[in-house]
Amino acid sequence: MTAVRMDWSLDEIEALFALPFNDLLFKAQQIHRENFNPNEVQVSTLLSIKTGACPEDCSYCSQSARNDTGLERERLLPLSEVIKSAQEAKDNGATRFCMGAAWRNPTDKSLNHVVDMVSAVREMGMETCVTLGMLSEPQAGRLKDAGLDYYNHNLDTSPEFYGEVITTRNYQDRLDTLSHVRDAGINVCAGGILGLGESPRDRARLLQELANMPKHPESVPINELVPIPGTPLANNKAIDAIDFVRCIAVARILMPCTYVRLSAGRTDMSDETQALCFFAGANSMFYGDRLLTTDNPTESSDAQLFSTLGLQAEKAASPATV
């Protein structure tokens, strides 16, 4: 069994990226098979519970109030609508329901409503995940008490490149939130976005930050930038598909027991690219034709892809491990 490490050097990680493609995928697939059923994929559904007017200046995001993307501001969804969406997700095979709100950080009043949502979805027998921006230590504790299973807060990119993408918060702010989440006993969901204009070394540094946390994140979403008109990154060139697959494989090697999620950007990926990602160790994905404000493959196209590849949705996600 491959040892779980939290002391990866940058040289070691860059050496993995430099392996011949076949050798890298073979190594990643071996590690994947040691820890997971290679033909099962954990399926989550993501719902935007509060859309638009975020005060952050994330260069990639349609929901930033500073980006003129034409996105309409929406209020926090009522509990009944969230429950309805969660039931539809469950009926379609999702085992985890994720809820995202476009906040820099939630107020305690807003958190009251989210706590009710978490409790209601948990009572339906689904795992719960939220992404609400930065959290204080007491807020993380409240979410834990409500039964929250996962908290998503992506690092986005390397510490060195971060300031080129976001200036309204710093890298340590993100690490502090993840620390509050972990200390509260909530599973951590943290990953990044590829195609922001970062260098290959930045990609290695992002994975190093994730892999060298005190405990590996239980879930690591790897997103491909979806260029959105009106954002500063609207004209960014797409990352090469083979380079993207390499990142999935290296993430699997560095974090053997983590769910590596194939996230945003799948609408622009061929079936062949996605198949390589699953072979490289991706074993989680979002299901449903919408990811917050961006498109996602339809349920029917994903069902066809699963059928073609002989994959099946994981029947029940692993229970919380912290």
In this prediction, residues 40-57 reach a mean pLDDT of 80
How does residue 290 score in pLDDT terms, banded at 50, 70 and 90?
very low
Q: How would residue 316 be classed by pLDDT, with cut points 50, 70 and 90?
A: low
pLDDT tens-place string over residues 17-45: 999 999 999 999 999 999 999 999 988 88
Residue with the bigger pLDDT between 1 and 245: it is 245
Q: Which of 122, 174, 261, 266 is catalytic?
A: 261
Average pLDDT over the chain, rounded to an integer: 87
Has residue 191 got a pLDDT over 60? yes
The verdict on whether 247 is a catalytic residue reads no
| 157 band by pLDDT with thresholds 50, 70 and 90 | very high
Assign 142 a pLDDT band (cuts: 50, 70, 90): very high
Q: What is the pLDDT of residue 320?
A: 41
Task: Name which residue leads in pLDDT, 154 or 72.
Answer: 154
Model confidence at 296: pLDDT above 70: no
61 assigned to active site: yes
Q: What is residue 297's predicted lDDT score, i.e. its pLDDT?
A: 65
Q: Is the pLDDT of residue 121 over 80?
A: yes
257-280 residue pLDDT tens: 999 999 888 888 899 999 999 999
For residues 156-173, average pLDDT: 91
Q: Catalytic residue at 98?
A: yes
Known catalytic residue: 142?
A: no
Q: How much is the average pLDDT of 114-136?
A: 91
Could you say which of 182, 189, 252, 277 is catalytic?
Answer: 189
The answer to whether residue 257 is catalytic is no
pLDDT at 176 over 70: yes
Catalytic annotation, pick one of 54, 174, 182, 266: 54
Q: Which pLDDT value is given to residue 161?
A: 95
SS (H, E, C) the chain: CCCCCCCCCHHHHHHHHCCCHHHHHHHHHHHHHHHCCCCEEEEEEEEEEECCCECCCCCCCCCECCCCCCCCCCCCCCHHHHHHHHHHHHHCCCCEEEEEECCCCCCHHHHHHHHHHHHHHHHCCCEEEEECCCCCHHHHHHHHHCCCCEEECCCECCCCCHHHCCCCCCHHHHHHHHHHHHHHCCEEECCEEECCCCCHHHHHHHHHHHHCCCCCCCEEEEEECCCCCCCCCCCCCCCCHHHHHHHHHHHHHHCCCCEEEECCCHHHCCHHHHHHHHHHCCCEEECCCEECCEECCCHHHHHHHHHHHCCEECCCCCCCCC
Min mean pLDDT across 48-52, 207-211, 303-307 is at 48-52
